A and B are shown apart, each in its own frame.
Chain A
Amino acid sequence: MTGNIVRGLRAAALTGTLVLGPGAAFAADPIKLGVLEDQSGDFAAATIGKVHAIQLAADEINKAGGIDGRQIELVTYDTQSDNTRYQEFMRRVLQRDKVDVVFAGFSSASREAYRPIVDQFNGFAFYNNQYEGGVCDGHMIVTGAVPEQQFSTLIPYMMQTYGKKVYTLAADYNFGQISAEWVRKIVKENGGEMVGEEFIPLGVSQFSQSIQNIQKAKPDFVVTLLVGTAQASYYEQAASANVNLPMASSVNVGQGYEHKRFKPPSLKDMYVTTNYIEEIDSPGSKAFYAKFKAKFPNEPYVNQEAENSYLAVYLYKQMVERAKSTKRDDIRKVIAMGDVCMDAPEGKVCIDPKSQHMSHTIYLAKVGADHSISFPKTWEDIKPYWLGEAGCDLTKKDPMSQYTPSNPPPKS
Chain B
Amino acid sequence: MDIASIAFSALYQFGDAFAFLVLSACGLAVIFGMMGVINLAHGEFIMCGAYVTASTVHAGLPLPLGILCGAAASALAGVVVELLVIRQLYERPLDTIVATWGLSLIATQGTLILVGSTMAGVGTPFGSFQVGQYSYSIYRIVLFTAALGVLGGLYALFNWTRFGVLARATIQVPHMAAALGVDTRLIYSLTFACGAGLAGLAGGLYAPTMTLVPTMGSTFIMEAFVTVVIGGADVFLGTAPAGGVLAVVKSAMTSWQGQLFGQIGLLIAVIIVVRILPKGISGFVLRERA
Please give the residue numbers on chain A whose beta carbons come within 8 Å of chain B beta carbons, in ascending order. 40-42, 44-45, 48, 172, 198-201, 203-206, 208-210, 212-213, 215-216, 229-230, 232-233, 236-237, 239-243, 260-263, 266, 298, 300
Contact = CB atoms under 8 A, between A and B. Distances in A.
Interface stretch (B166-174, B256-264, B274-282): B256-264
Contact of A40 (B112, B136, B211): B112
Contacts of B17: 206, 208
Contact of B9 (A172, A212, A243, A262): A212
A229 B119 CA distance: 11
Contacts of A212: 9, 13, 134, 255
A241 B137 contact: yes
Q: Which 5 A-B pairs have the closest CB atoms?
A: A263-B123, A242-B128, A240-B124, A240-B137, A205-B219
Contact of A243 (B108, B135, B219, B251): B135
Contacts of A266: 121, 123
B117 A44 contact: yes
Contacts of A230: 211, 215-216, 218-219
A209 B259 contact: yes
Contacts of A40: 108-109, 112, 214
A230 B139 CA distance: 19
A354 B218 CA distance: 42
A204 B210 contact: no
Contact of B140 (A200, A203, A208, A213): A208
A236 B255 contact: no
A224 B278 CA distance: 42
B208 interface: yes
B127 interface: yes
A209 B262 contact: yes
B219 A237 contact: no
Interface string B228-268: 00000000000000000000000100110011101100000
Nearest to B108: A40
A44 to B, nearest CB: 5
A233 B122 CA distance: 12
A52 to B, nearest CB: 11
Given A209-B251, A212-B255, A262-B123, A236 B209 contact: yes
A172 B121 contact: no
Contacts of B16: 206, 208-209
A200 B263 CA distance: 10
Interface string B134-147: 11111110000000
A346 to B, nearest CB: 23
B149 interface: no
Interface in B77-132: 108-109, 112, 116-124, 126-128, 130
B210 A205 contact: yes
Given A209-B262, A215-B134, A263 B121 contact: yes
B209 A237 contact: yes
Contact of A201 (B136, B213, B260): B260
Contacts of A241: 128, 135-137, 140
Contact of B128 (A42, A204, A240, A260): A240
Given A198-B259, A229-B213, A236 B208 contact: yes
A208 to B, nearest CB: 4
A299 to B, nearest CB: 10
Given A40-B112, A209-B251, A240-B124, A203 B218 contact: yes
Given A45-B118, A205-B211, A230-B216, A199 B136 contact: no
B158 interface: no
B12 interface: yes
Given A240-B124, A240-B137, A262-B121, A233 B259 contact: no
27 contacts: A40-B109, A42-B215, A42-B218, A44-B117, A44-B215, A198-B258, A198-B259, A200-B260, A203-B218, A204-B219, A205-B210, A205-B211, A206-B16, A209-B13, A209-B16, A209-B254, A215-B134, A229-B216, A232-B211, A236-B121, A236-B209, A236-B210, A237-B124, A240-B126, A242-B135, A242-B137, A266-B121
Q: Counting chain A CB atoms within 10 Å of each CB, which of B117, B118, B138, B212 scores highest?
A: B117
A240 B118 CA distance: 21
Contacts of A300: 116-118
Given A212-B255, A229-B118, A260-B120, A203 B219 contact: yes
B69 to A, nearest CB: 19
A215 B260 CA distance: 19
A208 B139 CA distance: 12
Given A208-B140, A241-B135, A241-B136, A233 B210 contact: yes
A199 B135 contact: no
Contacts of A237: 124, 137, 209
Contact of A240 (B108, B209, B214, B251): B209
B255 to A, nearest CB: 5
Contact of A45 (B134, B208, B209, B213): B213
